[in-house]
Structure 1
Amino acid sequence: MTSIPLPAHTLTCYFVRHGERVDHVDDEWVQTARTPYDPPLTPHGHKQAQHTGALIHALEHHGNKDGTLADTEYLVLTSPFQRCAQTAEALAEGFLRQQKKRDTDKERWRVAVEPGLSEVISEGYFTEQVPDAIISTCTERMRRGSVTYDDEYAAARDVLPRYPEDFQQMMARFVSTLDCVASKMVGLRMQRRAQGLRDPRLVVVMVTHGAGVGALLWATTMKPGSNNVDYCAVTRAEVLARRTSRPLARFGSSRIPAFSWTVGPYAYSGHTANL
């Protein structure tokens, strides 16, 4: 079927892996942790995330020469795992530190939990099902955080993947999550334009895990992505077109994305190399 081109700057996405996790540098942490399946960031991981926000700020300014940056809304979607949520908040803080009008710019940032961005719940990583309670725990923690929580955001998925999740299931989950998010955001902009409403540019930052970044790279390039991307590696993707006018496939049923994208930079991590 013929694809449906979309106007320039309709939607920009950034895919970010979380920062350094504590159980990868402290072997004893897991022995006393109440939730050993949900490690937080290390202090270094927080620093990586803040520098990632600064990088996104630089990419935004470099890539917007036509005045659209001044009227941009940012939505940070995070996996409900603690290391991703902490990365999301630190990333927003790092971006806003680069701004001159911090109070005004802070109003344009929102965060929300997206369970579709969760870690792959595979036998290689877990021995049993991770409880869905981490979703509500993460949501409540972020509502008390420094960045405004977007209560209007409707998640693509409201539960964690079922254990054991295999690689193909994980890939389909991330394709569906990206398709759902893109469809909502593109639809919102089309509706605003049709009604003659204010139509700010939309940027979505997705904070997830190594396997998730690899799956999102597949969803935007149709080429295999690495599961071993560095901590806080950043990819930028701009939506180009809807591949077909058909409704989205049932969630998790297809690894063929509904949108086409242009991608670059690709899993870049040079901004954290010398921290």
Structure 2
Amino acid sequence: MEAVPNGSPHPDFYQHLVVMRHGDRFDNFDRSWSATAPRPFDPPLHNDGLARAFDTGRTFLNLLPFSFHRLFVSPFLRCVQTAAQVLLALSAANPSTTLKVSVEYGLCEMLTSEAIRPKVAPKDLNWGFDIPQLEAILPSGTVDHSVERVHKEMLPWEGTAVVTHRRYVHLFQTLADKYPSENLLLVTHGEGVGVAVSTFMEDTIVYGVEYCAFVELRRPVFQKGDSFAFGKFEVILREGQDGIKHVPNPEKE
């Protein structure tokens, strides 16, 4: 990969990266659920969340002028269930879709006490994600076992949001660079969506991300043989794309 070549104002194509939050989590509907759950830090989706995720998949078909090649998903159950519903919606409209899915640890929740209360987190920080069991939730034939994860194991406790934000940004760039000619859908958590907006939309503060909200990122790609060079990602806002609450950063005005 090289710097964007001078004298090449017109890209060969654009690469699209969509970062999406999971659907409505069950423990926000049943506050007593976590008291007896074996994995209180890893709630499933509520039925409303399943429906919202499926509807968002249909929104992608109607709103976005491009299709996805790959989907990467956080190992948390609510994210995998969200990805499964999106895939079902996309395949219902196009049964021949070849979209492939991979579980990526780097898309996981913020590993801080702000996001996961200490009394809920596993005592030994052994998250116990059963990847084959999670992959079984996804539609048959969609899992790509050949993909090498960016983070090969579950991450350690991060402690601060700053560490999490760096992790998300590095992962977005790494996955995009790894698949330069493909459009990617990343199913993650609210913080990941917020980071994508505040990083690539200058002087912006994100203060809320609704369930299944998503941000579309786009960058120009210049290709010469087997080599690729890239412009910067920009946030694309389309009519009907909402759910991310943001304001200008007053410190930059």
| Structure 2 length-normalised TM | 0.79
Cα 1:140–1:9 change in 2 (3 A) is farther
Partner of 1:90: 85
Cα offset, 1:268, TM superposition? 2.0
Partner of 1:261: 233
Cα offset, 1:146, TM superposition? 1.0
Cα offset, 1:87, TM superposition? 0.4
Cα 1:32–1:8 change in 2 (3 A) is farther
CA distance in 1, matches of 2:81, 2:136: 12
Cα offset, 1:162, TM superposition? 2.0
Kept after mapping to 2: 8 A contact 1:16/1:232: yes
Deviations 1:168-190 (A, max 9, x none): 1011000110111011011xx4x
Partner of 1:176: 170
Partner of 2:226: none
CA distance in 1, matches of 2:86, 2:152: 24
Kept after mapping to 2: 8 A contact 1:237/1:263: yes
Cα offset, 1:74, TM superposition? 2.1
Query: What amino acid is aligned across from residue 100 of structure 2 in structure 1?
Result: R
Matched, 1:80 2:84: no
Kept after mapping to 2: 8 A contact 1:241/1:260: no
Structure 2 residue runs without a partner (length 5+): 223-229, 245-253
Cα offset, 1:131, TM superposition? 2.2
The match for 2:196 among 196, 216, 241 is 216
Question: How do 1:235-274 residues align onto structure 2 when only pairs under 5 Å count?
Answer: 235-240=215-220, 260-265=232-237, 268-269=242-243
Cα 1:203–1:269 change in 2 (3 A) is same
Cα 1:31–1:88 change in 2 (3 A) is same
Kept after mapping to 1: 8 A contact 2:100/2:144: yes
Kept after mapping to 2: 8 A contact 1:114/1:155: yes
Partner of 2:28: 24
Kept after mapping to 1: 8 A contact 2:196/2:215: no
Cα offset, 1:154, TM superposition? 1.6
Matched, 1:203 2:157: no
Partner of 1:163: 157
Number of equivalent positions? 225
Cα RMSD (Å) of the superposition? 2.6
CA distance in 2, matches of 1:9, 1:126: 44
| Structure 1 length-normalised TM | 0.73
CA distance in 1, matches of 2:108, 2:28: 19
Query: What amino acid is aligned across from residue 126 of structure 1 in structure 2?
Result: R
Kept after mapping to 2: 8 A contact 1:122/1:165: yes
Cα 1:111–1:170 change in 2 (3 A) is same
Partner of 2:41: 37
Structure 1 residue runs without a partner (length 5+): 65-71, 190-201, 243-257, 271-275
Query: What amino acid is aligned across from residue 229 of structure 1 in structure 2?
Result: V
CA distance in 2, matches of 1:118, 1:225: 22
Q: Which has the higher strand share?
A: 2
Query: What amino acid is aligned across from residue 215 of structure 2 in structure 1?
Result: T
Partner of 1:140: 133
Matched, 1:113 2:117: no
Cα offset, 1:58, TM superposition? 1.2
Deviations 1:120-146 (A, max 9, x none): 010122315642431xx1443214631
Q: Which has the higher helix share?
A: 1
SS in structure 1 at match of 2:157: coil
Partner of 2:249: none
CA distance in 2, matches of 1:11, 1:236: 11
CA distance in 1, matches of 2:202, 2:144: 31
Cα 1:7–1:56 change in 2 (3 A) is same
